[in-house]
Structure 1
Amino acid sequence: MEITLLADMLKNENGEIQFNRLSDIFSCRNKDVESFLKNKAVQSSKLYTSATYLVSEITDKIDLLGYFTLATKMLTLKPENLSASQSKVIKRFVSRDADTDTFRLPAILIAQFGRNFSDSSKSIKGFDLMRIALERIERAVSLTSGKVIFLECEPKQKLIDFYEQCGFRLLNNIVYSKDKKELVQMFRII
């Protein structure tokens, strides 16, 4: 397997053309995740607002198995939305903001996470894709700082169960996407 940072691919002479060929055959069950890759990943990489990693297998052709996008964001948590154990863990990394009565901490957001379900792709297991994402996050954190990872997903039990099996804990937070979709937040300490 090969893991390629999209920003590095775009530095090559025909990088954007190569990426467009790869993303054209990417098909994901979550159409928002598919749309981000095809329509926003290049722009976000060029603006350095996020980092998209492409996981592929190279044989006689390149098979885009899946991808994930990481960004640094502020995670804002209301104390009343945390269980006692979650509050105890979070307090180790940040203090309470008295003005807003919230905890605000810098964290790494897994902004996009998707497998290729195209018939022409071998795809990758979700747990393997998550392992690769967590390895990249741990490498980045070891060079800087931080201990918290979070993600936002649709409140579907199958998704929540998957992320819990990957070590994430469900927060009692409901947030809304730009297009007004209800999402739940989950976090993990590394």
Structure 2
Amino acid sequence: MLDYILVSLSDLLDSFKENEIEEKIKSSFSCRREKDLESFLHEKAILYERSSLGRTFLFLDKVKLLEGVFSVIGFFTTAQTSYDISVLSKKRKRKVLGSAVPGRDSLKSFPAFLIGQIGRNDLYTSEGLNGKTMLNECFLQLKQVSKIIGGEHVILECREYMFKNFYEAQGFQKFVEEPTPEGLLTLYNRIKFNELHILKGQSQP
């Protein structure tokens, strides 16, 4: 596991010039497998940050940073959202929302945390930074929000192979079986944030 530092894009923008951060990100992060992921970080992440539509966090290579080199290992972006549950049967609502939600059967939508983007640089492998660590760091950020406003539902969209190869083992389930017109599955998970802890040594201050 590589030593990394998790930094918020907001903090970087408060400390450095925007064009400087933008150039460093563009020159140090690539993801040919998911060009939409690369495009978001290169072209939209700062805009989302400035408009408070989402919050992006970067995993920086600690060793290279100490040498004066800015290298993004991976990143994730979180936001608040709600999802349409009006299409679900009462039985399905109980499964998705749980049994303790007031007025559950009559609800048409439900608030959730959104993981809008999460991915790793092509120059790094899962041996250096694995998906479970990235996801856990994401949950730890959401935990801080949950302490203030509540909430335990997390949703994201991914392709079928990512669900089978990774997200299913992390406790995510399909919201509905049918993918979106873009071929993406909507997944949900209920996270007990008060019970969440990261393994010692995975995160750096």
Normalising by the smaller structure, the TM-score range is 0.7 to 0.9
Distance 1:125 1:81, change over 3 A: farther
Residue 93 of structure 1 deviates from its aligned partner by 3.2
Mapped pair 1:5 → 2:13: no
Distance 1:118 1:186, change over 3 A: same
Secondary structure of the structure 1 residue equivalent to 2:175 = strand
After TM superposition, the structure 1 = structure 2 runs for residues 71-110 of structure 1, keeping only pairs within 5 Å, are: 71-77=79-85, 78-80=87-89, 83=92, 86-87=95-96, 89=98, 91-93=99-101, 95-96=103-104, 98=106, 103-110=108-115
Q: State, as a whole percentage, how many aligned pairs show the same letter.
A: 24
- Provide the residue aligned with 1:34 in structure 2: 38
Residue 104 of structure 1 deviates from its aligned partner by 0.9
CA distance in 2, matches of 1:109, 1:10: 22
Secondary structure of the structure 2 residue equivalent to 1:62 = coil
CA distance in 2, matches of 1:8, 1:24: 19
Distance 1:24 1:55, change over 3 A: same
Paired residue type of 1:112: Q
- Provide the residue aligned with 2:195 in structure 1: none
Structure 1 residue ranges without an equivalent (≥5): none
- Provide the residue aligned with 1:142 in structure 2: 147
- Provide the residue aligned with 1:117 in structure 2: 122
1:62 counterpart (70, 74, 91): 70
Secondary structure of the structure 1 residue equivalent to 2:166 = helix
CA distance in 1, matches of 2:154, 2:72: 25
CA distance in 1, matches of 2:15, 2:109: 38
- Provide the residue aligned with 2:203 in structure 1: none
Answer yes or no: is the 8 Å Cα contact 1:64–1:123 preserved in 2: no
Answer yes or no: is the 8 Å Cα contact 1:67–1:114 preserved in 2: yes
Secondary structure of the structure 1 residue equivalent to 2:78 = strand
Structure 2 residue ranges without an equivalent (≥5): 192-205
Q: Deviations over 1:27-55 (max 9, x none)?
A: 12211111100010010100000001111
Residue 56 of structure 1 deviates from its aligned partner by 1.0
Secondary structure of the structure 2 residue equivalent to 1:118 = coil
Normalised to the residue count of structure 1, the TM-score between the two structures is: 0.82
Secondary structure of the structure 2 residue equivalent to 1:107 = strand
**Equivalent residue pairs, number:** 181
Residue 164 of structure 1 deviates from its aligned partner by 1.3
Normalised to the residue count of structure 2, the TM-score between the two structures is: 0.77
Does 1 or 2 have the higher relative contact order (CA < 8 Å, sep 6+)? 2
Distance 1:146 1:162, change over 3 A: same
- Provide the residue aligned with 1:157 in structure 2: 161
CA distance in 2, matches of 1:134, 1:31: 24
Distance 1:21 1:45, change over 3 A: same
CA distance in 2, matches of 1:48, 1:18: 18
